[in-house]
Amino acid sequence: MKRKLMLKMAVMLMIFSGFQVYLNSQTCSCAATPLFNPLEYSTLKNRKWHFAIAYKYHAINDLVEGSKKIEDDTKRRRNAQALLLDIRYALFRSFTLRAVFSSARHEREVGISTALPVSTQGLGDGMLAIQYTPVYYSDRSRTEVSIGGGVKLPLGQSEAKIIGIASEDMQPGTGSWDGIAWVYVARLVPLLSGLEIFAGVSTRFNGSNNRSYRFGNEIIYSFGAKLHTKKIMNYSLYGRYRWASSDKRFKGDVPNTGGQWIYLVPAVTVRITRDIGFKTEGEIPVYRKLNGYRQFSSTFLISISLFYEI
Amino acid sequence: MFQSKYMKLLLITMLVFLPFCAQQSLDSNLSATWLIPEEEVADGGPGKDGIAAISNPIFIPVSEVSFLLENDLVIGIQIGNLVRAFSHRILDQHEIVNHTIGNTSFALTYCPLTGTGIAWDTSEFTLDKTFGVSGLLYNSNLIAYDRETDSNWSQMLNLCVNGELTGKEAKPIHVVETTWQTWKLLYPQSMILSTDTGYSRDYSIYPYGNYKTSDSLLFSVSKLDSRLPKKERVLGIIAGEKTTVYPINTFDDPIKVINETFNDIQIVVAGSAEKNFAVSFERKLPDGTLLSFNPVEGELPVIMMDNEGTKWDIFGNGISGPRAGIKLTPTSSFIAYWFAWAAFYHGTEIQF
C-alpha cells in the first residue's frame, strides 16, 4: 500500500516538475553544462562510498534548421570535453549525498577560415545534491523510487578569454547558481531475470551570471531498460527526451537557442571486481526540433567512466 | 588501510584533473595591442569567418527581384555612374560583401546587431582587397578584418584597432539606406545583390528572432543612453569632436530638409520617415559658396533643390541647374540603432 502511494507520488512529481519547467524555463544546446545530465541515479547500500571519474566528449557539428540537418558551408568543427568527478555517499540506505566536480575544455574551428582553432579550458562547475530513496530494492520490493535535488555551484572559470571574453558556450563554467531536481523510478521485471526498467525526469532551473546571461531551463525525461547479467557486463539502453527553452540575456531571448531533442543512449557497464568497474555510454540524437533559424547541435556524445565503491 | 585507499584515489583524481583544469585559451595571429579596451572586445560565438563574407557577388536587375518585401531595407552605393543595391536580408547573414566597380574596390559592411551599414574603399590594398568577419564585437558592433594584413577594424569607429595597420583610418564611401519600395523608385534600372551568394541560406528568414523590434540586447555595451528607445534608427553625424543624431522617424513626409550649422560646419540633412532614409551633406562648396536647400517632392531620385536652382539627388549629385554635374561632400555620418551610436559617441546631441 505504502509502495503504491510512493509510486503515485513519484509520478505526480514527474508531471508536476514537467509543468513547472514548461512555465518558467529555458537552455543552450551546446554549452558544457548539459554534460552534467547523464548522472547515475541508482542507490547505494548503507554507508557506501561511490567514486566515479568520467570523461565526456561532445561533438557539436550538426547544423540544424528546425528538424533538418543541413550542410554547413563554413565547415565549423566544435567540441566540448569534460572530466567529472562524481562522489556519492549513502548516509543511510535511503539518503545519499552527492558532490560533483568538473573541468571542461572547448574547441572551435571554422574550416573555411585561415585562423587556427581556438580553445578554452579550465575548472568547470560543481554540484551538491541529496537523494532520498523512500522505496528501494529488497527481498520485499522489486521497485526503487528516488527523489533528488541540489544546487549547481558556479565553481568554474566563466570569464575565459579567446580575445576578450569568450562566448558563453565556450566558457568552462556558466558563472550561475542553478537548481537541479530529479525523480527516478526503477522496477525489476518479474519473470525476466536481471531485467530492470526505469524512468526518470530531471530538471534544471538556471540563474544568471554576471554578464546577465542565463542558460535556458530544461527538463529531461528518460525511459529505458538495464540488463543485469550474471557475468561481468551489464547493458542498458534508453531514450532521453530533452526540452530546453531559449537562453536569455538582459531578459530577452537569445535567438537560435533551445528546442527539443530525443537521444538514444546505449551503455555498457563492466565490473572488473565487485567494487571497481567502468561504464561506456553513447548519446546519439535521433530527433530534434530546434528554436530559431539555425543551430549547431549535438552530433554525438561519448562517455567513459571509471567507478570505485567502498 | 582506509586512508591509504583514499590517498590513492585523491592522487589519481588530481593527476587526471590537473592538466584539464589549467586555464588556457589559444588564438592564432593577433597582436596584443588594441586601440579599444580589450576587455570590451567580445567573442560573438561563430568564430572568425563563421559568418561568411561574400567575395564573389552576383547582381541581378531590380526588376527581376522577388525575394524582397516593400518595407525591407536596402543599402545603395554609387561608384561613378554605376549604382548597386544590397539588401539587409542578405547582409544579415553575411555582414560583408566585397566588390569592385571599375578601379574602386570596396567592402560593404553591415552589422545586424547595431543596424549599421558602412562601405570602405579598399582599393589601396595590393595583395588582397577583401575583408572578412572576425567574429569579434566591440560595443555589440562588427569588427571586420582585412585579409591582406589580418588587422582588425572597428566598423563604427571606421578605424583599424588591432594588428599591423593599427591606427589607420578606413576610407568610407557614401551609402544610402532606404526601403526596397523607395529604391525601386529611385533607381529602377539598377542592379541588386542576388541571393545566389554561393552559400546555402534561407534569406526569407531573419536570423535574430525579434531582435530588431525588442528592447533587449544580445551583447553588453559600455554605456546605455535612455533618451531614445534602444533600436530607434538614427542618422548620426560626426563633426570634429562633436556628434549629433537625427531620429529618422522624426522626418516629416514626404521629405524634410534641414539646413543646419553644427560645430561650425554648415550641413544639410534630408530625410523621410515614410521612405525610411536620411542623408546629409556639407552646404559649403569648395569655392566658398554657402547653399540653402528645400525639399523636392515627386521627382526621385531628386530630393532637394538649392537657392541657386540646382536640383540634387539622394547621393548628392547635382542633376540639373547651374551646378549640374557637381557632387556635394557627404558628412561623416551613418545610420545606426540609437543604443549603439550612444555607446560609441557619448554625450551626443539629439535633434528633434
Judged by CB atoms closer than 8 Å, whether chains meet at B217 and A249 is answered as yes
Judged by CB atoms closer than 8 Å, whether chains meet at A71 and B200 is answered as yes
The average pLDDT across A224-248 equals: 93
- Long-range pairs for B163-167: beta carbons < 8 A, 24 or more residues apart: B163/B30, B163/B31, B164/B31, B166/B31, B166/B33, B166/B35, B167/B35
The answer to whether A210 contacts chain B (CB < 8 Å) is no
Give chain A's domains with CATH numbers: 2-309 (2.40.160.40)
Which residues on adjacent β-strands are paired with residue A138? A141
User: A21 φ, ψ to 5°?
Assistant: -70, -35
CA distance B179 to chain A (A): 24
Instruction: Tell me which of A35, A108, A162 to substitute to probe the interface with B (most B C-beta atoms closer than 10 Å).
Output: A162
Separation CA A99–CA A155 (nearest Å) = 12
The answer to whether A159 contacts chain B (CB < 8 Å) is no
- The pLDDT score that the predictor gives to residue A210 is 93
Which residues on adjacent β-strands are paired with residue B239? B242
The answer to whether B45 contacts chain A (CB < 8 Å) is yes
CB–CB of A30/A168 below 8 Å? Answer: no
The answer to whether B136 contacts chain A (CB < 8 Å) is yes
Of A103, A117, A161, the CB nearest to B17: A103
B251's CB contacts (< 8 A; 6+ apart) are B271, B272, B273, B278
- The pLDDT score that the predictor gives to residue A193 is 82
On chain B, the residues whose CB falls within 8 A of the CB of A211 are 220
Residue A75 CA: distances (Å) to CA of A70, B135, B286: 12, 15, 51
Cell numbers given for B266: 554648415
- The pLDDT score that the predictor gives to residue A111 is 94
The answer to whether A169 contacts chain B (CB < 8 Å) is yes
Per-residue pLDDT of chain B (352 residues; tens, 9 = 90+): 445 665 555 555 555 555 555 555 444 445 678 999 999 999 999 999 999 999 999 999 999 999 999 999 999 999 999 999 999 999 999 999 999 999 999 999 999 999 999 999 999 999 999 999 999 999 999 999 999 999 999 999 999 999 999 999 999 999 999 999 999 999 999 999 999 999 999 999 999 999 999 999 999 999 999 999 999 999 999 999 999 999 999 998 899 999 999 999 999 999 999 999 999 999 999 999 999 999 999 999 999 999 999 999 999 999 999 999 999 999 999 999 999 999 999 999 999 8
List pLDDT tens digits, range B180-197.
999 999 999 999 999 999
pLDDT band at residue A34 under the 50/70/90 scheme: very low
Q: Which helix (H) or strand (E) holds A90?
A: strand A76-92
Residues of chain A numbered 14-43 and touching chain B (CB < 8 Å): none
Judged by CB atoms closer than 8 Å, whether chains meet at A110 and B46 is answered as yes
Residues of chain A numbered 95-154 and touching chain B (CB < 8 Å): 101, 103-105, 108-110, 112-123
Say how many CB pairs under 8 Å bridge A and B.
151
The answer to whether B210 contacts chain A (CB < 8 Å) is yes
Q: Which helix (H) or strand (E) holds B304?
A: strand B302-306
Instruction: Tell me which of B1, B5, B10, B21 to substitute to probe the interface with A (most A C-beta atoms closer than 10 Å).
Output: B21
CA distance B132 to chain A (A): 9
On chain B, the residues whose CB falls within 8 A of the CB of A114 are 49
The structural domains of chain B, with segments of one domain joined by +, span: 38-193, 233-350
Of A74, A163, A212, the CB nearest to B41: A163
Which residues on adjacent β-strands are paired with residue B176? B76
- The pLDDT score that the predictor gives to residue A12 is 45
At residue A219, does pLDDT exceed 90?
yes
Q: Report ipTM for this prediction.
A: 0.86
Task: Please give the residue of chain B at the shortest CA–CA distance from A30.
Answer: B45
List pLDDT tens digits, range A257-285.
999 999 999 999 999 998 999 999 999 99
Separation CA A268–CA B149 (nearest Å) = 52
